[in-house]
Structure 1
């Protein structure tokens, strides 16, 4: 972005304050005092930019941009497509969405528009191009922010026709589609593509291939809309980078399908701090940061976070003193080149009038939140040289969106409490407690860059993942797969001939039955002097060459393998047969990390600390944060690792961030 150091700022909505120019002037002075160097403009500005069809008012935006530029504050300029003006919905009702039950929405809300609608695309393209022509070369503008938190789906006739065309392109013939979806079940075969409708609670929802392809279509149609907006920006003459702001663990879209359309990943982070132990929330948040960073394997942007409390969570709790800075720097520790807030100034009315902001309704700078925002800005200035540095990982987790879609729609073996994300978090937690950096992959990516790859509950196989795993292990890699993996193909059709499909020789076993446990049921894995609790799932496997490391303690399958290891080629394939407790993953990950010589940030990391690294050509940077309830001893060789920022005397205090660096 040609901006030195970190981006620091957030969403700003000056159109809400045009009648009070003195507030706008004051805001700029406050921003400068807080070290804010960026604002995101235009996110929901369409009705002010184009109050009537074809009548454009851009002068207010230009004036504000000029003022910001004079004060060395840059702009990320948003396209306004996330919320349409009333005149557009009234004159062109086709732009409003139709729900899965086939009812049409009234005007209102945010993402209440059809991405397929030619009219909507025309109007969006026109204003995007105009904004690009007018502001694409404005010296304040550094990046384009396309729409906002893309989400939702439309089931209107236009989308039905587009879906049918998408299916015809994929399957070519209706016979091929019927075979792939197993439509003879319940006698639901189709005679032509025009008969197919999107899933609906009033109609077809039992064809899992249909459900899965609809989700893929929604992703593709949304991505095509992003491409449409990007093309309009380019047609207006701007070649600046583009981004979309993604969301926490969002299952409505496969975010991997957007990485070729954008120049940088950005996301909006709103944890429910203080609901659980802080270290639990911190670990979950770190996972999401690492997922976002992994999409493009380079620094991302924290596009939104809250300076204090939100207004939309079930309980909107204040951040305790010190947490704002800690949470902001956690994003940086895990690869962000920005800290941005929603919002700079608190709105006076409507939906988010009580959502936290840098400047609240009181309007003064003598507040706790403004002071902490300023302190965070100062910390980012101290760490400016780290911006642009990268994160290197030797371990990865296969976390595939399409497999998760299919698994959570599968109707068995547990329809409540599948525990997929908890399993992912246990693997991630076992690695992160060692200070091991972790990448997240989908099945379309290459495995060869890693020493260890984990595949928790990889239910669906696609993109040739069987051959990738086979080659990875044969070439010397260590692969860890769990129960409920390799069960179905890319259309959610069950594999015949045994599972994990295509890999029974690699793992030296075959899965024979999967026992789903009731919530109160408990089993255990025992062996090597250890006993680990098991809940939810027990996979009963028949070994054929694999070594049993742990065995089940209870039930009719007591003595059956619960953890196995098989040597294949130059590598090793482990199979975790059951849903083990966190202690198992802590010990197992430590054992593998030591055996495989994984690079770790520190030999020992006390409970509650989050330790991560970034590096550039000259230095390696070590971030140590304490989310525990008490100060934690963390001895470091300060001649090798020199403290850059934070109070450090051998101890890291609660919510403190200490950053070290060493020459490479």
Structure 2
């Protein structure tokens, strides 16, 4: 569990009593008791208040807040306050503010405005983290440390330029090696001195965010900035650990946020925490995928839902209210995927500045007689009733999808073949096809051990890092099933093409080579036509595809990209139906050792994806948790000899699920269900089975 000091699913969120008169806190605590709120995140943005000048620290207000929370047995998630530096720091040391993508020097203001390579910022942020740890490390109710807040954003200042050159020297050792790795003879970009290298932004190599003249330097700058911000986190982590050896330490991540390599970050975090803010029209499968990704950052370890809104956000174009029941539903969805906390931003609404219209447990009216508070209190009662029943339980899956931030950066920095290709969207398409069939799936990094999986899917695995091809070959050879797609195996870790035919180092495993890649215009499609070889009726099992071609019903559409491939031992399962490459392979499977490797040469429609992945999972012995019902999500957590089946109805109407012959008790209502079971609109069941 995250902390033995609070052995239940935590319930609470960000709390900023320093923003109000001290008397307000008494009323807040009364409302916390009504809602069974038992943990508060404090001190997130209090740096200016705690350190009013360089050499002065004032902890009196924080002492008061913590003491009062402790008196009411509210546990403390203590932040280091370094998410926004004080105004005096920017005034006295202008170097601490960032230079933006356009090359403009920032003034004081906003947040995420601290240069991660500023020695001044690093020194002061580590110092305040150490001061806090020295003062509060033995606090009885301290359950976790929260470093900074939602790290993100890049800087392009002179400090970063100098630090980037040092980072490059460590990575490449010599300019000769760098020039070769970056392919700098193109456009006469050869470097002869380290200080000739400048950050890639709108003043040098890039334009429009992800458009670049030189992918290699842009890719390395993203690695460098992610590492720079991580170094800031690690400095604060080390400062805390000098005094507090045991309390877990985290920082809040942001799901599929593009700028940081969260798999690398997770190695430095005691527990993963993240902030979940879907829109009203975000598909539940996408939120489900993101929870799975956060769980996968630390090999399936339970994570923290650090932030969500009780109702509406303030920063989206259209900030819709969460409809009745949705907050509860989405909270339990997080728990179903492995969250051991349900926490909000914020517990009381701010009354000024840019987040005053962001939802809160306690609205501006200030009392409990609101729909939002009633729903929060009802959820708090359920979490209290459940106690430690599902705490520290784990999700088990035999299918996994590989997700890699560096590959994502490379795909989206690529100068072609199509602006329509979005890495996260393609990952979601494969995840959704499994989600809709109630097939459990993990999202894991490329370094993860594959021993526990029967099926591994790597959508758009454009970048092949050293050792990856050999790892996948070993997985398939011992009996695993591997699926990858178009635009895979193209480049190495420096975004340099692997010559000799696509998909490069995956060519032997897949038994194909791709000669060309066609980009389809928006709205343009091709067809996937199943191939039915003659003379195999009744002998489907002898084919490498296990009879999938016979199971595909009619033709399917495909879009975005079409690889024009030739087989080198692989069997053709489907081919293109139109254009000059009509009849060329579009879906192949290759026997390799005891396993199989599939290549999907295009981006198929949902109907194909469902049939294809359903067949592959069945052949791999991977079954559904329950027969699927449209709009109803089913997830599973295991603890000892018990399994907890979460059934979540995302529909706006009552739905029916089939439990089969089992008789299972719902931990929330106490009712027992079997056979065909009705679940209310936006309803949640947690069914226990032994």
Aligned to 1:235: 242
Aligned equivalents of 1:254, 1:516: Cα separation in 2: 29
The Cα shift of 1:375 comes to: 0.9
SS state of the match for residue 371, structure 1? Answer: helix
The equivalent position to 2:412 in structure 1, one of 379, 397, 408, is 408
**Residue 443 of structure 1 contacts residue 463 of structure 1 at CA under 8 Å; is this kept in 2?**
no
- The superposition leaves residues 491-523 of structure 1 with CA deviations (integer Å, 9 ceiling, x where unpaired) of 000110012112222111111111110012111
The answer on 1:271 being equivalent to 2:278 is yes
Residue correspondence of structure 1 range 393-542 to structure 2 within 5 A: 393-414=397-418, 416-527=419-530, 528=550, 529-542=553-566
The equivalent position to 1:386 in structure 2, one of 384, 390, 408, is 390
Aligned to 2:316: 313
The answer on 1:48 being equivalent to 2:57 is no
Q: Please identify, of 105-114 and 588-597, the stretch whose mean Cα deviation from structure 2 is larger.
A: 588-597
**Residue 80 of structure 2 contacts residue 145 of structure 2 at CA under 8 Å; is this kept in 1?**
yes
Q: Residues 425 and 515 of structure 1: is their aligned pair in 2 closer, same or farther, counting only changes over 3 Å?
A: same
- The superposition leaves residues 633-652 of structure 1 with CA deviations (integer Å, 9 ceiling, x where unpaired) of 11225754322224776111
The number of residues matched between the two structures is 654
Aligned to 1:653: 680
The Cα shift of 1:147 comes to: 0.4
SS state of the match for residue 554, structure 1? Answer: coil
**Residue 519 of structure 2 contacts residue 562 of structure 2 at CA under 8 Å; is this kept in 1?**
yes
Residue correspondence of structure 1 range 330-341 to structure 2 within 5 A: 330-341=333-344
The answer on 1:283 being equivalent to 2:310 is no
Aligned to 2:630: 607
Q: Gapped runs of 5+ residues in structure 1?
A: none
**Residue 434 of structure 2 contacts residue 613 of structure 2 at CA under 8 Å; is this kept in 1?**
yes
Aligned equivalents of 1:42, 1:69: Cα separation in 2: 15
The equivalent position to 1:294 in structure 2, one of 281, 296, 311, is 296
Aligned equivalents of 1:638, 1:154: Cα separation in 2: 59
The equivalent position to 1:624 in structure 2, one of 647, 650, 654, is 647
Q: Please identify, of 435-444 and 253-262, the stretch whose mean Cα deviation from structure 2 is larger.
A: 435-444
**Residue 566 of structure 1 contacts residue 574 of structure 1 at CA under 8 Å; is this kept in 2?**
yes
Question: Which contiguous aligned blocks of 4+ residues in structure 1 show a shift greater than 4 angstroms?
Answer: 637-640, 646-649
Aligned equivalents of 1:513, 1:539: Cα separation in 2: 6
Aligned to 2:164: 163
- The superposition leaves residues 89-133 of structure 1 with CA deviations (integer Å, 9 ceiling, x where unpaired) of 111111111123332100001110111111111111221111101
Aligned equivalents of 1:37, 1:224: Cα separation in 2: 32
Aligned equivalents of 1:347, 1:170: Cα separation in 2: 45
Aligned to 2:542: none
**Residue 574 of structure 2 contacts residue 585 of structure 2 at CA under 8 Å; is this kept in 1?**
yes
Aligned equivalents of 1:483, 1:315: Cα separation in 2: 35
The equivalent position to 2:362 in structure 1, one of 359, 363, 369, is 359
SS state of the match for residue 149, structure 1? Answer: coil
The Cα shift of 1:351 comes to: 1.1
Aligned equivalents of 2:485, 2:554: Cα separation in 1: 19
Aligned to 1:25: 26
TM-score if structure 2 supplies the norm length? Answer: 0.93
Aligned equivalents of 1:137, 1:507: Cα separation in 2: 57
Aligned equivalents of 2:223, 2:621: Cα separation in 1: 39
Aligned equivalents of 1:526, 1:624: Cα separation in 2: 36
- The superposition leaves residues 512-535 of structure 1 with CA deviations (integer Å, 9 ceiling, x where unpaired) of 111110012111101134321111
The Cα shift of 1:383 comes to: 2.8
Aligned to 2:622: 598
**Residue 446 of structure 1 contacts residue 468 of structure 1 at CA under 8 Å; is this kept in 2?**
no
**Residue 515 of structure 2 contacts residue 565 of structure 2 at CA under 8 Å; is this kept in 1?**
yes
The Cα shift of 1:238 comes to: 4.9
Aligned to 1:588: 612
Aligned equivalents of 1:218, 1:317: Cα separation in 2: 34
Aligned to 2:65: 64
TM-score if structure 1 supplies the norm length? Answer: 0.97
The answer on 1:248 being equivalent to 2:252 is no
Aligned equivalents of 1:555, 1:583: Cα separation in 2: 22
**Residue 179 of structure 2 contacts residue 190 of structure 2 at CA under 8 Å; is this kept in 1?**
yes
The answer on 1:642 being equivalent to 2:665 is yes
SS state of the match for residue 659, structure 2? Answer: coil
**Residue 464 of structure 2 contacts residue 505 of structure 2 at CA under 8 Å; is this kept in 1?**
no
SS state of the match for residue 610, structure 1? Answer: strand
Aligned equivalents of 2:514, 2:128: Cα separation in 1: 56
**Residue 305 of structure 1 contacts residue 340 of structure 1 at CA under 8 Å; is this kept in 2?**
yes
RMSD: 1.4
The Cα shift of 1:599 comes to: 4.2
SS state of the match for residue 530, structure 1? Answer: coil
SS state of the match for residue 527, structure 2? Answer: strand
SS state of the match for residue 558, structure 1? Answer: coil
**Residue 293 of structure 2 contacts residue 443 of structure 2 at CA under 8 Å; is this kept in 1?**
yes
